[in-house]
Amino acid sequence: MRKRCWKIGKALVLGSIVCYVVFCLFPYSFFGAEQYVGTGGMIDFCRRFMSNHINDVYWFLYSIIYLYVLTPILSLAVGNKRCLQYMLALCGLVGVLVPLANRLGVNPMYTGTVFNWPLFSTVPLLYFLAGYYLHTYWRPIRHQAAIAAAAYVAATIGMAVLGLWSNGYYRPGGPGPAYDAYVVGISSPFCVVQACALFLLFQSCEIRFQTCEVSTKRMLGKVAGASLGVYLFHILFINWTGFGFVAVLKSALATHPVLYAVVVYLCTLAVVLAGKAALGRCTVAIRWMRGIRRTAVRGLHDVQ
């Protein structure tokens, strides 16, 4: 818990500081940053940070910290397969099936009193436990990669089609003013199936990844190591209004969301890799200077 919580905590604070400073310095260069005009200061930063109003995509990191706080307790339970299956069933029932029943028309007053269990209604806990279960207890099945890929595609199509339908894209009047995110949200059964299928798909490809050349595995390791940085700062590229050619390019990419996502990812990845390389060189330089200092001090003591 100390290792992971400290790592995520540092990333959350660092990303929040960078975004806050950028938004305060350039409030008219980023979409939605006009609210930072005339603000800036420790109190304002703390207020926004504690309420996740700096970069709201960081909600995921706040959830992860909560899960890492629970990890010492969960680690005592997940060693028992049956106990882990029981917790998964509770999380699935309270966090997914009950909201689905409410979505289908069951009045929440009939489910809230009986199933208002804060621990197991936290859907991120379901994904956290499911990932550990699939990694530890799942036994690969025949044609797992093909089945997982088919399940992932089916869940994705279901989320897309039902997401459009629930928001009224097929109605004569078009979509309504309020966006309905249930179908594509993390408590949607489609999202649970999609996440598990993606996990099993990569799990089935693990043997092939291990047989790759050293250079390929090194490249994959660098890309994977930069994933947290991409998550922290990709929103800056998305919300940057740009100017000149950049603004025209963003307008053109806006009509091609998949291509837009790829471009944003590659740009953020390049910046993160460059930043990590620069920090690595600075760390080496600092260690080198410290080594010279220690050598000089040791030599001075010897002379004395």
The 10s digit of each residue's pLDDT in 31-46 is 888 888 888 889 999 9
Q: Is the pLDDT of residue 8 over 80?
A: yes
Residues 234 and 185 in one domain: no
One domain for residues 235 and 298: yes
Q: Is residue 21 part of a domain?
A: no
pLDDT of residue 217: 85
Per the domain annotation, does 221 fall within a domain? yes
Same domain, 288 and 229: yes
| Residue in this structure with the two tokens 């109003």, named with its chain if needed | 53
How remote is the C-alpha of 261 from its chain's centroid?
A: 15
> Does a structural domain hold residue 245?
yes
Q: What percent of the chain has pLDDT over 70?
A: 96
- Look at residue 175 and tell me if it is in a domain: yes
- CA–CA separation, 245 and 257 (whole Å): 18
At a CB cut-off of 8 Å and minimum separation 6, what does 133 contact?
78, 84, 85, 88
Give me the helices (H) in 167-256, please. Answer: 189-204, 206-210, 214-225, 227-239, 245-253
With beta carbons less than 8 A apart as the criterion, state whether 120 and 89 touch. no
Picking from 169, 196, 211, the residue at the C-terminal end of a domain is 211
In a domain, 49, yes or no: no
Last-in-domain residue among 211, 241, 265 = 211
| Claim to verify: residue 221 and residue 300 sit in the same structural domain | yes
Instruction: Note the pLDDT tens digit of each residue in 89-140.
Output: 999 999 999 999 988 888 888 888 888 888 888 899 999 999 999 999 998 8
Print the domain residue range for 290: 214-304
Q: Which of 160, 177, 211 is the last residue of a domain?
A: 211
Number of domains in the chain: 2
